[in-house]
Structure 1
Amino acid sequence: MGRDVVVLPTLPEPKGVLAKALRGLTKKPGDVATLPARTHMVMEHRVAVSRLAAYCAETGFALRDEMPATWLHVLTFPLQTEAMAADDFPFPLAGLVHVTNDMTLHRPLRVDEVLRVSVRAGNLQPHAKGATFDMVGEVHVGDELVWHGTSVYLAGGARVAGDAPPPVRLAAPSVAPSQEWRLPGDLGRRYASVSGDHNPIHLNALTARLFGFPRPIIHGMWTHARAVAALGGELPDAYRVRVQFAKPILLPAKVGYGVVREDGQWRFAVVNREGKPHLVGELSVARRGEP
């Protein structure tokens, strides 16, 4: 079976897509066998430097001519939401949990380069708590793949035939946190304004309570970006970074960040006061031609 390609003139406005997705809360996934075979794509995207600057200010990156890998995930996010908000997508977007993220920046990418951005869903699998699937994003310059990312989402309560594969867990570094981050109560709203992710669990206590959280939680991708930005001048020009999201961070909060370099890679974690991880990750130098 071929894959349909939906070419959009510009990246969708995430707020509008999320409003559409909220209308899909009545979806009851039950037994799911397939995902739509569809790719969403924008052929020519030019980065708004002002928005990138605001993103860097909120996540701790220095503003440079080259873009951080996590920013390229932000560019794929509107296409992810467009795909998952479709009527024939089997899971309600508002109930999905982002469990892992794996991205590779193949080379430094300048802010003036014209990008082709695409997203597709795949790899539907059973899980002990429901089902997981991948949202795969790619960024090309011409015919060159310059960034690749896979976000794994969990759809609770869904059923997929087969046995759930054993979970793969990243190991947290066995070092004491070297940094303490103080996260203000409005950080979710601030990050939403630069990332486009206006999921109500991140915005205020009232909307967070509707989804079972006593206070708003910060976006996992903010924590991901802040952890990578903390490497500062050690960050390679091309790198692969994998993270697992564990315990949500309720805002406001104080969290610790620890990192260690060993065997040619960096291992890091964001932890609470008891040392329990909110996020665990590893980053390594990317070799040209690697997936």
Structure 2
Amino acid sequence: MRYEDWLLRVLTYIHDNPDGDLSLDRLADVAAMSRFHWHRVFHAMTGETCAQVVRRMRLHRAAGRLVREQTAVENIAQACGYPNPRSFTQAFRASYGVSPIAFRKIGRLDAPALLQRIGDLTMHPVEIRDNPTRRLIGLSHKGAYMNIGEKFEAAAAMIGARNLWEDCGPMIGVYFDDPDAVDEKDLRSFAGAEWRGGDIPDGFETVEIRGGRTAVMTYKGPYATLKSGYDALYGGWLPTSGETPADAPCYEINLNDPRDTPPDELLTDLCMPLA
């Protein structure tokens, strides 16, 4: 298990130090391996280079802050490891397809749901489906939902390190609390994957998602703007649907992989269990 432990230690370090030294040499030191061997191990276990993971995690952090805060773009850039605003803008545009300022305007989250404009992000109609009961393996998260990415990275790394993907379905996030009613530090969520194997592997937690009638909206766009989808689901579709939500948490099913999919092409099923 030591390779898995080394990998998780490095992913945690990247998440906790977005503005720090995340060079290959520094990450090799965190993993306590030689620079040459660490790079090969990391790439083989995650499917990405260290530089790709660092860039993706830094830009995801920045995207979330852009739509949740009024902090100056240059300050967000610096806090996410880009002391040069120009290099930040270039990296952000290359990944998200628009400048940081344009992304903030497209994905702003402070407007009422019915007045919110989502620009080029595509919202699909809501369907009612008979979803199956699902058993998940993964890790619990407490705190801001925007920070659950750390647990998704860790859960995926653990699954990959143990060659468990053949027994897994899609990555799924479960959100147990209403972020408008519960303090951010107390929000409870779960990041994992559908488990189709036998006993729960050591080191994983497990959650069961109830099956049955479920309202499903397929959202296209960056994870940082998913709240726009929930606003449309709760503020637009639900009041006119004649449906009542069940006493069960919403969950999100990732339909493609953020490691090889541009943020504006990401597809996520937002699932609301119905009574």
TM class by shorter-chain length? 0.3 to 0.5
More helix by share: 2
TM-score relative to the length of structure 1: 0.31
More strand by share: 1
TM-score relative to the length of structure 2: 0.32
